[in-house]
Amino acid sequence: MKPNRKYTNDSVGWRFDNSYARLPESFYAQLHPVPVRAPQVAMLNHALAESLGLNIRALSDEEAALLFAGNVLPDTAQPIAQAYAGHQYGHFTMLGDGRAILLGEHLTPAGDRFDIQLKGSGQTRFSRRGDGRAALAPMLREYLISEAMHALGIPTTRSLAVVTTGEPVMRETVLPGAILTRVAASHVRVGTFEYIVRIGGTEGIKTLADYVIHRHYPALVEADNPYLALLNRVIERQASLVAKWLLVGFIHGVMNTDNMAISGETIDYGPCAFMDAYDPDTVFSSIDQQGRYRYSNQPHMAQWNLARFAETLLPLLHPLQEKAVALAEEAIHHFPAVFQDCWLAGMRKKLGLFTEETEDSQLIETLLTWMQQHQADYTQSFRALASEALPQDALFRDAEFVEWHARWQARLSRQAESRQSSVSLMRAHNPAIHPRNHRVEEALAAASERGDYSLLQQLLAAVTNPYADAPEYHDYRTPPEPSERVYQTFCGT
Ligand code: AMP
Ligand code: MG
């Protein structure tokens, strides 16, 4: 295998500045991606590249494949694998990037800083028993879902490219290998704090917290207690994020503390999925036997993870342990209220409400209970409410729904805004199209088993335009037939 080559004349326009690699050496391992045999481009995100100020159109297919496989490195890259830990299904483990390399932080022309990470790039000293590689279908899945989430207005890491490696990976069967290029505000996780406090103590955690404040929350430098302010800001961002997930019916699937980003972006798309029929107990992940990360438990798990985050900050919150604990507890106890505010505000938009009434929560709960009892499709039902006239559907002639509808209409008429403004608000907050699991599975199977990317490209075009009613997307809006329903998703790492 050829070793990594370094670019000399960089036509792509990388502007790397690797601030993480300037942190203490114990925070990461310095190493290169392991070159792959025969890389080929599967997906390239030109729109994202442009927004980053990268000119990937200047590359031939072969050059792009070598770059996004890590066979060739931009000369300003400073590749590292980050160290972190995590509570996985409640159990603490030392982890780290076992199959990912951070090439560095790219600075966009607007001055924003993004991690550029290759996922599936070979073994590192954090690989434990893993091969350091990734299979094609899960990488395509992350590409598709992360781009769909972005189009839905949900904070998320993005996907710049997927390349196949030309090497097989051994899972339950032999699968084609692939590498995903992930773009993130950063890859600092709750698990990063859990790792650093254990190996670096108070000094280590201060270094990391100061780094994060400087990088993600610069305004907090001025705060009376910047570390408490950091805790509160992370709580707010996570509450807002998880509320957004619930509002679109998203289930992350593996909310371990190593998969919760301090930036407030959705990260690590494994067995994630969107609900079809509304059921708060929905679980997709085949390994989530207890339903720990089921749809309705996500706010609770976010709070649990944030408590682990708060514990790592204790030495910084107050010199007296007792006081520090009290401050942390107060902040964490605030989470449900912050979450509820975000969720309720989002639900009001979904129902076209501009004003606030105390009975709104009850109005929403009644609708959701009805949806659950009638196994109504979550996305399609909300979108139907946003249409000028309800679809001629037996479901909407149900007596309980008719009664609810009258209550809702009365509620709408108690606000000054016009019906048309309500419809516009609803149409902007109730997507018509999202990545339906049966469509995702079908598209991934065609791409990964038969090398046919046409379904995936069509699906990607549909889900990155989620508020469109275009007739050609009809099939992407339609819920699955009982025979098409997906009941389980697999990590497939
Ligand atoms: P994930 O489930 O993707 O969040 O990964 C959890 C941990 O397992 C992380 O430390 C990963 O780097 C590691 N990991 C997952 N798959 C592999 C693999 N094939 N080889 C090495 N490490 C892996
Ligand atoms: Mg992970």
pLDDT in tens, 65-115: 999 999 999 999 999 999 999 999 999 999 999 999 999 999 999 999 999
Percent helix / strand / coil, the chain, rounded to 5: 50, 15, 35
Ligand 1 atom 1, closest CA: 268
| Averaged pLDDT, 467-481 | 92
Confidence check: pLDDT of 490 > 90: no
Each residue's pLDDT tens digit, 419-465: 999 999 999 999 999 999 999 999 999 999 999 999 999 999 999 99
Same domain, 422 and 278: no
Does residue 263 lie within any of the structural domains?
yes
Amino acid at 491: C
* CA proximity to 83, closest of 98, 96, 102: 96
Same domain, 132 and 208: no
Q: Point out the ligand nearest to the CA of residue 259.
A: 2
Same domain, 80 and 142: yes
In whole angstroms, what is the distance from residue 33 CA to residue 6 CA?
A: 12
| Averaged pLDDT, 44-61 | 97
Same domain, 30 and 130: yes
Same domain, 237 and 93: no
Same domain, 237 and 361: no
Residue 102 C-alpha to ligand 2 middle, in angstroms?
Answer: 14
| Averaged pLDDT, 377-405 | 94
pLDDT at site 321: 98
Q: Point out the ligand nearest to the CA of residue 95.
A: 1
Q: Which atom of ligand 1 is nearest to the CA of 493?
A: 16
Give the structural domain span for 423: 351-429
Using the 3D structure, point to which of 343, 364, 391 is the last residue of a domain: 343
Ligand 2 (ion): which residues have CB within 5 A? 259, 268
Residue 177 C-alpha to ligand 1 middle, in angstroms?
Answer: 15
Residue 97 C-alpha to ligand 1 middle, in angstroms?
Answer: 7
**pLDDT above 90 covers what percent of the chain?**
94
Q: Contact, 295 vs 281, CB < 8 A? A: yes
| Averaged pLDDT, 188-207 | 98
In whole angstroms, what is the distance from residue 209 CA to residue 88 CA?
A: 22
Residues with CB under 6 A from ligand 1: 95-99, 126-127, 130-133, 254, 258-259, 268, 270, 493
Same domain, 219 and 153: no
Does residue 475 lie within any of the structural domains?
no
Which parts of 217-297 fold into alpha helices (H)?
226-248
- Residue 9 pLDDT level (bands cut at 50, 70, 90): low
Q: Point out the ligand nearest to the CA of residue 88.
A: 1
Does residue 48 lie within any of the structural domains?
yes
Does residue 479 lie within any of the structural domains?
no
Is residue 258 part of the annotated active site? The answer reads yes
Same domain, 196 and 144: no
Ligand 1 atom 7, closest CA: 95
Domain count along the chain:
3
Same domain, 126 and 212: no
Catalytic residue among 97, 115, 258, 288: 258
Does residue 447 lie within any of the structural domains?
no
Ligand 1 atom 14, closest CA: 98
Ligand 1 atom 12, closest CA: 98
Same domain, 134 and 202: no
Same domain, 82 and 228: no
Same domain, 21 and 160: yes
Q: Which atom of ligand 1 is nearest to the CA of 134?
A: 19
Using the 3D structure, point to which of 384, 400, 429 is the last residue of a domain: 429
